[in-house]
């Protein structure tokens, strides 16, 4: 069977070529992946930005774990997830959401035991507060130029 990159065009080809080059996130859409050693001790916690005094945080615990463990992270002292990772909240910045356009729909799981997601539109240069109190800010970045995409 021939190489799928040979038959792909446009954004699909851009994504496949980026993957071949070692970039598994060419559109900057993944969640934060802490560096090795981060979160292993209270001296090197994973810093979680928030404008409020607490925030709901999701931890996937292991790389092959299919679920997300949600917990409330108050500002101040580091807290430990059930898997052992340590996080710490801060008020310096809102949660930054990457986008290829000046708007994007985002979802917030407001409470630890919620079984639904609160969706809202987020626009560039207009930080928005979810009804639970968490702030989001859109960060626009340039996407690939469609006229310079590989054929």
Residue 67: the pLDDT is 73
Domains and CATH numbers, the chain: 35-148 (2.60.260.40)
What is the average pLDDT value for the chain, to the nearest integer?
72
Q: Is 108 annotated as a binding residue?
A: no
Q: Is 61 annotated as a binding residue?
A: yes
Q: What is the CA radius of gyration of the chain?
A: 18
In percent, the amount of the chain with pLDDT more than 70 equals 61
Q: Is 83 annotated as a binding residue?
A: yes
Residue 133: the pLDDT is 66
pTM higher than 0.85: no
CA distances from 140 to 22, 39, 52, 125 (A): 23, 28, 23, 9
- Average pLDDT (69-89) is 67
Residue 46 has pLDDT above 50, yes or no: yes
Render 125-148 in DSSP notation, one character per residue.
Answer: TB-EE-TTS-EEEEEE-----GGG
Residue 91: the pLDDT is 42
Residue 95: the pLDDT is 64
Q: Is 81 annotated as a binding residue?
A: yes
Residue 50 has pLDDT above 70, yes or no: no
């Amino acid at each position: 069977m021939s190489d799928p990159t040979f038959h792909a065009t446009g954004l699909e080809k851009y994504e496949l070529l980026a993957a071949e080059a070692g970039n598994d996130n060419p559109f900057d859409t993944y969640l934060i992946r802490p560096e090795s050693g981060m979160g292993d001790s209270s001296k090197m916690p994973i810093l979680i930005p928030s404008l409020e005094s607490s925030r709901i945080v999701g931890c996937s615990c292991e790389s092959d774990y299919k679920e997300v463990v949600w917990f409330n992270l108050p500002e101040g002292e580091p807290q430990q997830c059930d898997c052992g990772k340590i996080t710490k909240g801060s008020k310096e910045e809102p949660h930054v959401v990457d986008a290829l356009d000046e708007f994007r729909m985002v979802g917030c799981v407001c409470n630890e035991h919620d079984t639904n997601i609160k969706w809202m539109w987020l626009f560039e240069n207009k930080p928005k507060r979810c009804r639970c109190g968490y702030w989001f800010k859109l960060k626009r970045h340039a996407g690939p130029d469609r006229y310079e995409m590989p054929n």
